[in-house]
């Protein structure tokens, strides 16, 4: 079994159910308020821990009660926290999240201690992660740190999975260090913003691959995912579930992909596992509440017909 490491954000999510998203200036009564563990990086680490994959988290929390609670939570989920540091003068990052009746969300974040994940911090923690094989990154810590990490991990021959979220245009020299790039629809459009507006999904995936060996795994929600390589594009159908909250579906998908690769499964099998893990993640309120065990994800794969959409 290969070991995974996640370098990224750690947020506390303040979640509120709303019947619909408010309009500017409007006050709306919501329900089911919850303070839950979140953050794209931390979500990926916790999802890997729940899937039973050895995983180390690298990030920063604040010197507050949220930071302390998060470190305990990581450990209870099987996540190695030796590379999680506490920025004593900062607050742990928070995300305010509205979830509507369709399970869609609206998110605003205060990055707090995530901003302490500087290139200098990376210099300190990276040597301690080099026994890991597969690295997962996202774009919720300073971009210059993400770019430094990509370069150094690529040079060291590590497998790098980049979730280009929250959406931002990325330079080719950063993309050149990525083995698996996993954009959703918004991120795919942002990364291929140079193409005409009317360009289709497959055209955008092909443009992102260019002539490279990079694999683009395009996350398409309930439709499943598209695997793009320079040899072609394959659709891997998703699993039908009732969506309660789609927050962290993409994070759980990335963990499923990494888990499959860590267990030595083929790319297509790993994407099937990612689809199942991501589907189960949306069945409960809160980023991490629906994240499945490996057994639960495999049971969904065995017992449910994939959607053909
Ligand atoms: O991807 C979902 C995550 O995005 C949430 O947990 C929230 O913290 C935001 O960062």
In DSSP notation, 102-115 reads TS-EEEEEE-GGGG
For the segment 167-194, the average pLDDT, to the nearest whole number, is 96
Cis bond before residue 166 (omega within 30° of 0): yes
Q: Is 179 a catalytic residue?
A: no
DSSP at 140: S
Chain centre distance of CA 92? 19
- Segment 210-256, tens digit of pLDDT: 999 999 999 999 999 999 999 999 999 999 999 999 999 999 999 99
Name the residue of 10, 34, 40, 252 to mutate for ligand 1: max ligand atoms within 8 A of Cβ: 40
Query: Structure tokens of 168?
Result: 């931002």
Residue 306 — very low, low, confident or very high, per pLDDT cuts 50/70/90? low
Residues in contact with ligand 1 by the CB-under-6-Å rule are 11, 13, 38-40, 43, 95, 107, 109, 140, 247-248, 251, 287
Q: What is the distance between the alpha carbons of residues 271 and 269, in angstroms, rounded to a whole number?
A: 5
Residue 304 — very low, low, confident or very high, per pLDDT cuts 50/70/90? confident
Share of the chain above pLDDT 90, in %: 96
Atom of ligand 1 nearest to the CA of 39: 8
Residues forming a β-bridge with 113: none
For ligand 1, the distance from its centroid to the CA atom of residue 201, given in whole angstroms, is 25
DSSP at 180: E
- Asked if residue 75 has pLDDT above 90, the reply is yes
Residue of the CA atom closest to atom 8 of ligand 1? 39
Largest CA distance in the chain: 52
The pLDDT of residue 305 is 62
The pLDDT of residue 206 is 97
Q: What is the distance between the alpha carbons of residues 26 and 53, in angstroms, rounded to a whole number?
A: 44
Q: What is the pTM of this model?
A: 0.96
Residue 195 three-state SS: coil
Atom of ligand 1 nearest to the CA of 12: 8
Residue of the CA atom closest to atom 10 of ligand 1? 39
* Selection from 165, 184, 173 nearest residue 214 by Cα: 173
Q: What is the distance between the alpha carbons of residues 90 and 67, in angstroms, rounded to a whole number?
A: 10
For ligand 1, the distance from its centroid to the CA atom of residue 131, given in whole angstroms, is 27
For ligand 1, the distance from its centroid to the CA atom of residue 230, given in whole angstroms, is 31
Atom of ligand 1 nearest to the CA of 97: 7
For ligand 1, the distance from its centroid to the CA atom of residue 57, given in whole angstroms, is 16
For ligand 1, the distance from its centroid to the CA atom of residue 231, given in whole angstroms, is 33
The pLDDT of residue 309 is 41
Query: Structure tokens of 118?
Result: 């500087």
For the segment 201-216, the average pLDDT, to the nearest whole number, is 96
The pLDDT of residue 308 is 45
Query: Structure tokens of 293?
Result: 């065990």
Chain centre distance of CA 222? 16
Q: What is the distance between the alpha carbons of residues 47 and 40, in angstroms, rounded to a whole number?
A: 11
């Amino acid at each position: 079994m290969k070991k995974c490491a996640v370098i990224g954000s750690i947020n506390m999510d303040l979640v509120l159910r709303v019947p619909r998203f408010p309009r500017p200036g409007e006050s709306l009564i919501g329900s089911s308020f919850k303070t839950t563990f979140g953050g794209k990086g931390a979500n990926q680490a916790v999802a890997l821990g729940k899937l039973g994959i050895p995983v180390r988290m690298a990030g920063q929390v604040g010197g507050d009660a949220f930071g302390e609670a998060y470190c305990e939570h990581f450990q209870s989920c099987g996540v190695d926290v030796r590379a999680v540091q506490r920025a004593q003068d900062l607050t742990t990052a928070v995300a305010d999240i509205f979830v509507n009746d369709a399970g869609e969300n609206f998110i605003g974040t205060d990055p707090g201690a995530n901003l302490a994940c500087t290139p200098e911090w990376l210099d300190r923690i990276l040597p301690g992660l080099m026994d890991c094989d597969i690295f997962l990154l996202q774009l919720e810590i300073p971009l210059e740190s993400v770019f430094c990490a990509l370069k150094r991990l690529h040079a060291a021959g590590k497998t790098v999975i980049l979730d280009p979220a929250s959406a931002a245009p990325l330079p080719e020299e950063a993309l050149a260090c990525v083995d698996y790039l996993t954009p959703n629809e918004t991120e795919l459009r942002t990364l291929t913003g140079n193409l005409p507006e009317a360009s289709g999904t497959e055209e955008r995936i092909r443009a992102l691959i260019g002539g490279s060996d990079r694999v683009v795994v395009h996350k398409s929600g309930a439709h499943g995912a598209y695997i793009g390589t320079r040899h072609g594009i394959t659709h891997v159908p998703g699993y039908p579930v009732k969506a309660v909250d789609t927050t962290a579906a993409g994070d759980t998908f990335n963990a499923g992909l990494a888990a499959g690769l860590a267990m030595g499964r083929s790319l297509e099998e790993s994407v099937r596992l990612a689809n199942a893990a991501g589907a189960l993640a949306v069945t409960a309120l809160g980023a991490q509440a629906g994240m499945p065990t490996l057994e639960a994800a495999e049971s969904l794969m065995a017992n449910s017909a994939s959607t053909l959409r």
